Amino acid sequence: MKISYSLESNSKEGFPLLRRGFEYGWITAAARPSMPSASEVSKAWHNHEPIFLPAILDDTLPLYQSELAQANLFMEQIRQGAELSEVLETEAYDSRLQPAFELSGASFEDNDEQAIEKVIFDCWENDEMVADNLWCKASWLSFDEEDGSLRFRFSFGYEGYEDVAADPVRQGLAAKLTDTIFPESAAVTTHPTLNTILQTMLDCSRVGFMERIVYFNAPNGGAQMHHDVERGHEGVVFAQMNGSTFWLALSKPKLMDEIEAFLARAPSDQWSHLRKLASDRQALSDYLEDRDHEWAEELIDRTPAFFQHLIEGGYAYVLEPGDVLLMPQQSLETCVWHSVICLGDETGEGLSFAIKKL
């Protein structure tokens, strides 16, 4: 399932890889890969490899064009400074939210510099309140004024403290809140072929889509290399709804192999701190988990030659509307790390849902 792209210093046919003012080169795509078989998907999943499902949503995505247009408008309003709580109280959203979700508060999250606003809801069923403190939180993806990327994250309770896996009822209701505000979520959650693939892969009869994030990656934006391990889910499904994104995605053991291979070829007077760490694989593994891992970030996030190295290794993917990327996240040791860059000049919507067996 390896896909080959090439990274050039300049190219007439390709797209520039540009993230927050940093230029990595121009990416030119090889032929689009074909759809893997169910057995190839399961094998790759159990080997902790990312799985690219090209155009899998193409059959149903046209059904959600008005919802996607509405979501784009919503994103633009927030990007231009509208208050999230006020937009959610307008007729267009209030009519969707009522009667199940009642807005109970809003917070500007002063302790979180990337946060824009968090809006909190109670959930009602037949005149009975069944959950409180379900929330939708809008955040910038960076501090860069030239990066208009933002995301809407849905969860519940006290952020950073809550064991979300311990309360499947509220987790399910936070997912339902996403369906209400971004109904195009159903393009993923109800897609028959995708669900069959996921059920076979996870060996279960139903898959839950939890801890949902709706991304709007803008030109010059994206995410640094990271993972999404959280207790209670197996991995992440990312679906490109419109726009386009470039990805590097590989399991942590492979990432460490590639760091070691790259350093072995680099001049010996370069990367001295990282080289010392990498001589002890466990130390490198632990260091990557540190909140501050600047010596590694310098290599894996800001070195075009390392991007080139990973692209040549077959770890690059280009997601177009209708494409899905699956990323196993079972443990800190095996999880797929990934790095994202917006491609082209359109701010594109992507759905990132954690998957769990139900």
Residues engaged in binding Fe ion (CB under 5 A)? 228
Q: Which is nearer to Fe ion, 221 or 277 (CB)?
A: 221
Q: Which is nearer to Fe ion, 123 or 356 (CB)?
A: 356
**150 contacts 131 by C-beta, under 8 angstroms:** no
Question: What's the closest the beta carbon of residue 337 comes to Fe ion, in angstroms?
Answer: 9
**Residue 244 to residue 275: CA distance in whole angstroms:** 35
Q: Which is nearer to Fe ion, 44 or 237 (CB)?
A: 237
Q: What is the DSSP letter of 48?
A: T
Residue that is written with structure tokens 């979300």 in the block:
164
**Residue 135 to residue 208: CA distance in whole angstroms:** 18
Q: Which is nearer to Fe ion, 87 or 310 (CB)?
A: 310
Nearest Cα to Cα of residue 318 among 18, 8, 35, 28 = 28
Q: Which is nearer to Fe ion, 211 or 228 (CB)?
A: 228
Select the residue whose beta carbon is closest to Fe ion and give its number.
228
Question: What's the closest the beta carbon of residue 100 comes to Fe ion, in angstroms?
Answer: 29
**Residue 343 to residue 219: CA distance in whole angstroms:** 7
Nearest Cα to Cα of residue 319 among 251, 249, 244 = 244
**Residue 140 to residue 215: CA distance in whole angstroms:** 10
Question: What's the closest the beta carbon of residue 70 comes to Fe ion, in angstroms?
Answer: 25
Question: What's the closest the beta carbon of residue 226 comes to Fe ion, in angstroms?
Answer: 6
Instruction: Give φ, ψ of 150 to 5 degrees.
Output: -145, 170
Q: Which is nearer to Fe ion, 189 or 329 (CB)?
A: 329
Question: What's the closest the beta carbon of residue 147 comes to Fe ion, in angstroms?
Answer: 17
**306 contacts 298 by C-beta, under 8 angstroms:** no
**Residue 207 to residue 142: CA distance in whole angstroms:** 32
Nearest Cα to Cα of residue 96 among 21, 154, 181 = 181
- What residues contact residue 351 under an 8 Å CB cut-off, 6+ apart? 182, 184, 185, 187, 188, 212, 213, 214, 215, 237, 238, 239, 241
Question: What's the closest the beta carbon of residue 179 comes to Fe ion, in angstroms?
Answer: 21
Neighbours of 206 (CB within 10 A): 11
Q: Which is nearer to Fe ion, 49 or 228 (CB)?
A: 228
Question: What's the closest the beta carbon of residue 340 comes to Fe ion, in angstroms?
Answer: 8
Q: Which is nearer to Fe ion, 121 or 182 (CB)?
A: 182
Question: What's the closest the beta carbon of residue 10 comes to Fe ion, in angstroms?
Answer: 30
